[in-house]
């Protein structure tokens, strides 16, 4: 299974942009890149996903490198409510030809007021 590598923790200031990096050097051509976040005492929350092109939605932007071996989640203006663990995940086909999300330990983002 293709895996991702993220920094354990990052820190940001409120109202500043945040760039959360993710490396996935073993990504295959059919793997989607997903980002979820988990606020304290809550279940993970879907943020964004993409395959090859950059993606934007109301929560964030996803910038995917041309070789797809890395990606960056961009929060344009961090708020205190964005403090969470951010997971970069690949959805890969397993041996049974089923697509599964392979979760890592994520990046814990702290936002300073």
Which positions lie near another protein, rule CB under 8 A? 32, 34, 41-46, 49, 87, 91, 94, 96, 98-101, 103-106
Helix/strand number for the chain, H first, E second: 0, 10
**Shortest Å distance, C-beta 72 to another protein:** 19
Show the CA angle centred on residue 68, arms to residues 7 and 110, nearest 5°. Answer: 25
Choose between 82 and 106: whose C-beta lies nearer to another protein: 106
Choose between 8 and 113: whose C-beta lies nearer to another protein: 8
57 CB contacts (<8 Å, ≥6 apart)? 48
Choose between 41 and 53: whose C-beta lies nearer to another protein: 41
**Shortest Å distance, C-beta 33 to another protein:** 11
Among all chains, which residue has been given the structure tokens 């205190």?
Answer: 80
């Amino acid at each position: 299974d293709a895996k991702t590598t993220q920094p354990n923790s990052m820190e940001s200031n409120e109202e500043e942009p945040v760039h959360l990096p993710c490396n996935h050097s073993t990504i295959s051509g059919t793997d989607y890149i997903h980002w979820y976040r988990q606020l304290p005492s809550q279940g993970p929350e879907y943020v964004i996903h993409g395959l090859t092109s950059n993606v934007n939605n109301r929560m964030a932007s996803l910038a995917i490198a041309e070789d797809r071996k890395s990606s960056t989640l961009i929060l344009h203006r961090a708020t205190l409510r964005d403090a969470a663990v951010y997971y970069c995940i690949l959805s890969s086909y397993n041996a049974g030809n089923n697509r599964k999300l392979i979760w890592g330990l994520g990046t814990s983002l702290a936002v300073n007021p």
